[in-house]
A and B are shown apart, each in its own frame.
Chain A
Amino acid sequence: MFDKTLAELASGLKSGEFSSVELTQAYLARIKAEDAKYNSFITVTEETALQQAREADKIIATGNAGAFTGLPIAHKDIFCTKGTRTSCASKMLDNFISPYNATVVDKFNQAGAISLGKTNMDEFAMGSSNESSFYGACRNPWDTDRVPGGSSGGSAAAVSAQLTPAATGTDTGGSIRQPAALCGITGLKPTYGRVSRFGMIAFASSLDQGGPMTKTAEDAAMMLNVMAGFDKNDSTSVERDVPDYTADLNKPLDGLRIGLPKEFIMDDMDSDIAAQTQAAIKEFEKLGATVKEVSLPNTALSIPAYYIIAPAEASSNLSRFDGVRYGHRCEEPVNLEDMYKRSRGEGFGPEVKRRIMVGTYALSEGFYDAYYNKAQQIRRLIRDDFTKALSEVDVIMGPTTPHPAFRIGEKSSDPVSMYMEDIFTISLNLAGLPGMSIPCGTVNGLPTGLQIIGDYFAEQKLLNVAHQFQMATDWHKQSPQGI
């Protein structure tokens, strides 16, 4: 049962093969038994999950079940869930019980989904390895000595280890796509503004976007059907109709124009990954696609631009964690300044502090034009690169990451080499474009991902392309050894 997709589980629930309570109990038991190996959950919400499952079964019994009624998922611990600890994997919020639900959480609740719990992540979503979590590193089910990627590492590992059929994630510079690639699952970062950010604890507001992490493209479409839409509580969400993302899944790919950016082949990338990308492209050609080279000349600038803009926004977004109203407050502060310094000094981990300091510096008087304004100019160049390329092709493809999962601790002392792992994913966030990662092979027993990039609001197209690939291949069906 644990290898079933959301779509398969939905038909099982509908046919009465099992109830939502049985399904939920099975997953809860599995999490209890297996998660010590992976540390993919920060909080398991057994009681509320079973309560939701009982409600779902009642609805199913009346015959009024929706597409998502009774299906279990997990939420990245960055989404506020009412009455439950929402920690963002930080000591700062270890004691924070959210009094409200994120819009995404509300939407899943209204759709009848079951929330099994809150998944591990890099602290405040800052990281590409899930090693910066206050609750300890999460481990890659394919090799528990390796990282699952990050920041949505817990969600990726939990789906990969079949502790949940699907999970929500968020992506600021690759935080859905990179862990999806490293854990051999499907991840979709929607267009900026497609999914509400309300109640999703902000890392970098102009880059953050929530999205689904699933076994298949079909499941991702089902999830996005629930998540997407305008939210009056998020001014940056876009007022635009939400299509049925499952509707176009089976469209044939005849005549699909694929662009291969020459900048996505790097000298120091894993040669097997380059080869697998080529193999995947061949598969698409068999499905009727045509391929041409395109250019994204400013790709190399995306990392420096990102590491100005994201920390700058983060340094401001994280100012609210001051020990005054909620969250960690130091013991016995002697005065206000002492309270600020120690509460924040104790509450934040090293990577968060590093980014706050970088961002504060970049926004400082005298440096603002040289850093922040320059980075914004680069951002426009990157967007223009994509717009030009996407005027010639329907989708752009390339590897999601330059390497498969690295060992825990391997890059801890070298933050810049860790930052470089996001080279292929970051530029999309700067441009605001949608992107997917789907499994396309393994290297030394570790999964690798193919990234599919589309135009603004072209999620339907991406899901269609990914689904057709998954109909023709089995990469997405591979599981870690022993699972």
Chain B
Amino acid sequence: MEWEAVIGLEIHAQLATKSKIFSGASTAFGAEPNTQACAVDLALPGTLPVFNEEALRMAVKFGLAVDAEIGKKSVFDRKNYFYPDLPKGYQTSQLFEPIVGIGHIDITLEDGTEKRIGVTRAHLEEDAGKSLHDEFPGMTGIDLNRAGTPLLEIVSEPDMRSAEEAVAYVRKIHSIVTSLGICDGNMAEGSFRCDCNVSVRPMGQEELGNRTETKNINSFRFIEKAIVGEIERQIDLIEDGGRVEQATRLYDADKNETRSMRSKEEANDYRYFPCPDLLPIVIDDEYIEAVRETLPELPDARKARFIEEYKLSDYDAMVLSADYNMAAYFETIAKASKDAKLSANWVMGELSKLLNQNDLDISSSPVNADQLGGLLSRIKDDTISGKIAKQVFEVMWIEGGTADEIIEAKGLKQVTDSGAIEKIVDEVITNNQPQVDQYVNAEPDKRGKMVGFFMGQVMKASQGKANPGQVQGMLKKKLDALTG
């Protein structure tokens, strides 16, 4: 039987506010446990929340960027459940009246097809703290630094039909929130994470199958793997005569499989009700228009500009414009080197290769855009060849430093002194008499290809530093002179 997957996603984007959504404590990542949790975050008796309006502005920005209805009145609700890292015993969220209503985005798949994906809603809520299970044998530690960090939960329509579409959607949302500057997009630190709702049904069937929700996946790769795996698992289960249980599952990246966390029977009744400690948020058109004025360039507009301004191919422009940080990186080096094509090749080639190998995000690249821009400038002004540049780049990646420093220290400057080049060329011709004879005796139209051998020898002898253009010209001249 042919099966169709139905996928809907919930993305939690941590908003890049300086302080928490309902308290004045800092939201910076990585501090000592419980040093960024104030009385409100600890839910001390008698404390009350005060809404951080910066979070509102960010949520409205997102709503405008996905062409959504903005809630003129939105209300915070309490989602009640007990967990040690949830200090109040409820999460303050928005169920009944969210700040962002129905919107949509367009995704582009690898084969170029476009698809519109609905955004059901996006609402503001507070993050929980963290339970630390490994550090204290027989006990659990609670770190409340993250408790109260503002989150925008972005809920999609179940419009996606494959893992590829799902990843394209997540990437697009990632691109939008980072472009808007409302989320740092750092998936490794949990600033941007995704819950995947997956179900399968026989192709052509209208009714949806039972779905599972896989929680808190924090990389694009894992999202793809988790969805592919979950679709397969569900199809196998049904084809073997079983049925999919509605359940919450966890993705185990080490084993590349999802496993059940809790079934629907154990599901909580969250007893949502409007939070009596917070007033409804009421905004008017004037507020919304003022926020619209501050919207920066969004990914689709940026892609169009890259094609126009940098003459990039459609594909290159799509890849480079998708991630806000990558786009900014690309533009910095393109401006420094004044060669957009070269810059695009380097970002999508060498840089991306090393980033992927090391599982790094471009925002945490060891080589920053200024460094790489400097390196490309040295290619452009013939200080080094493209090949040497790769060596310099590898040194830069590991040891740091500017291109000029590394070229200087390692003596990698390209040799353009024609006397020095001529000396090496002469040596190579002298030392390779059989090949010279072959060249001389060959048909003239075959000789062009044969120059390559001598080129290789000269470059090898110069340790790659000889200017290839000069070498080529000189070799041709000297060899052709020998043919009489």
**Chain A interface (Cβ < 8 Å from any Cβ of B):** 79-80, 86, 88, 93, 96, 98-100, 102, 197-202, 204-206, 232-236, 312-313, 315-316, 318-322, 324-326, 336, 340, 360, 363-365, 368, 372
Question: In the complex, which of the residues B45, B50, B90, B273 has the most CB atoms of chain A within 10 Å of its own CB atom?
Answer: B45
Complex: how many Å from CA A204 to CA B273?
Answer: 13
| Alpha-carbon distance between A93 and B44 when the two chains are bound, in angstroms | 11
Q: Say whether B271 contacts A201, CB under 8 Å.
A: no
Q: A316 contacts B279, CB within 8 Å?
A: no
Q: Which of B46, B272, B273 contacts A201 (CB under 8 A)?
A: B46
For this complex, 5 residue pairs linking A to B, each with C-beta atoms less than 8 Å apart, are: A80-B44, A235-B49, A236-B48, A318-B89, A322-B84
Let me know if B287 is at the binding interface, CB within 8 A.
no
B269: interface (CB < 8 Å): yes
Chain A CB within 8 A of B80 CB = yes
Known: A236-B48, A364-B271, A368-B271. 8 other contacts (CB 8 A): A197-B48, A198-B46, A234-B48, A235-B51, A235-B277, A236-B278, A319-B89, A324-B84
Pick the contact of A102: B46, B80, B87, B271 (CB < 8 A).
Answer: B46
- Interface positions, chain B 266-314, Cβ under 8 Å from A, are 269, 271-273, 276-279
* Residue of B42, B46, B82 touching A325 (CB-CB under 8 A): B42
Pair A98/B44 contact, Cβ less than 8 Å: yes
B142 contacts the other chain (Cβ, under 8 Å)? Answer: yes
Q: How far is the CA of A236 from the CA of B46 in the complex (A)?
A: 14
* B interface residues with partner A (beta carbon < 8 Å): 39, 42-51, 78, 80, 82, 84, 87-90, 140, 142, 269, 271-273, 276-279
Could you tell me if B46 and A336 are in contact, using CB atoms closer than 8 angstroms? Answer: no
Which residue from B43, B87, B142, B277 sits with its C-beta under 8 Å from A236?
B277
Contact A325 B271, beta carbon cutoff 8 Å:
no
Given contacts A99-B39, A235-B277, A319-B89, contact A199 B80 (CB under 8 A): no
Q: How far is the CB of A289 from chain B (nearest CB, A)?
A: 36
Question: A80 to B45, Cβ gap below 8 A?
Answer: yes
> Which residue of chain A has its CB nearest to the CB of B88?
A320
Asked if A199 and B50 make an inter-chain contact with CB atoms under 8 angstroms apart, the answer reads no
Q: How far is the CB of B139 from chain A (nearest CB, A)?
A: 11
Contact check, B44 vs A319: say whether CB atoms are below 8 A apart: no
Report which residue of B47, B49, B51 has the largest number of chain A beta carbons within 10 angstroms of its beta carbon.
B47
Q: Are B39 and A232 in contact (CB under 8 A)?
A: no
* Known pairs A316-B90, A319-B89, A365-B269; A232 contacts B44 (CB<8 A): no
In the bound complex, residues from chain B placing their C-beta under 8 Å from that of A326 are: 42, 44-45
Which residues of chain B have C-beta atoms less than 8 A from A93's C-beta? 45
10 smallest CB-CB distances across A and B, nearest first, come from: A319-B89, A363-B271, A205-B276, A206-B276, A199-B46, A320-B43, A201-B45, A80-B46, A201-B46, A365-B269
**The one of A198, A319, A336, A368 that contacts B90, using a Cβ cutoff of 8 Å:** A319
Contacts of A96 in B (CB 8 A): 45
B50–A235 touching, CB < 8 Å:
yes
B142's partner among A86, A316, A324, A368 (CB-CB below 8 A) is A324
B87 pairs with A320, CB closer than 8 A:
yes
Q: Closest chain A residue to B271 by CB distance?
A: A363
Question: In the complex, which residues of chain A have a beta carbon less than 8 angstroms from the beta carbon of B276?
Answer: 204-206, 236, 313
In the docked arrangement, what's the CA distance between A236 and B15, Å?
A: 25
CB neighbours (8 Å) of A318 from chain B are 89
Closest CB in chain A relative to B76 CB, distance in Å: 10
The chain A residue with its CB closest to the CB of B34 is A325
Chain B residues whose C-beta falls within 8 Å of the C-beta of A204 in the assembled complex? 276
Q: Are B45 and A325 in contact (CB under 8 A)?
A: no
Cα A197 to Cα B84 in complex, Å, equals 26
Give A198's nearest chain B residue, CB to CB: B48
Which residue, A98, A204, A233, A321, has most C-beta atoms of chain B within 10 A? A233
Separation of A98 and B39 alpha carbons in the complex (Å): 10
The answer on a CB contact under 8 Å between B46 and A202 is: yes
In the bound complex, how far is the Cα of B48 from the Cα of A111, in angstroms?
A: 23
Contact B45 A88 (CB under 8 A): yes
Give Cα distance in the complex from A213 to B87, angstroms: 33
Q: Give the chain B neighbours of A199 by CB distance below 8 A.
A: 46-47
B277 and A99 contacting across the interface, CB-CB below 8 Å: no
With a cutoff of 8 Å between Cβ atoms, the chain A residues found around residue B272 in the complex are 363, 368
C-alpha gap A4/B78 in the complex (Å): 47
In the docked arrangement, what's the CA distance between A372 and B90, Å? 18
- Please state if A236 and B279 are interface contacts (CB–CB under 8 Å): yes
Tell me which of A100, A235, A324 contacts B39 (CB under 8 A).
A100
Contacts of B39 in A (CB 8 A): 99-100
Q: Complex: how many Å from CA A142 to CA B46?
A: 33
User: Is the beta-carbon distance between B271 and A233 smaller than 8 angstroms?
Assistant: no
**B residues within 8 A CB of A235?**
48-51, 277-279
Report yes or no: A316 in contact with B44, Cβ–Cβ below 8 A. no
Across-interface contacts of B80 in A (CB, < 8 A) = 315-316, 319, 363
Q: Which residues of A are found within 8 Å of B44, using beta-carbon distances?
A: 80, 98-100, 326
CA distance A197 to B46 in the complex (A): 8
Nearest-CB distance from B38 to chain A (Å)? 10
Q: How far is the CB of A15 from chain B (nearest CB, A)?
A: 38
Known: A319-B82, A319-B89, A322-B84. A372 touches B45 (CB 8 A): no
Residues of chain B contacted by A336 (CB below 8 angstroms):
84, 140
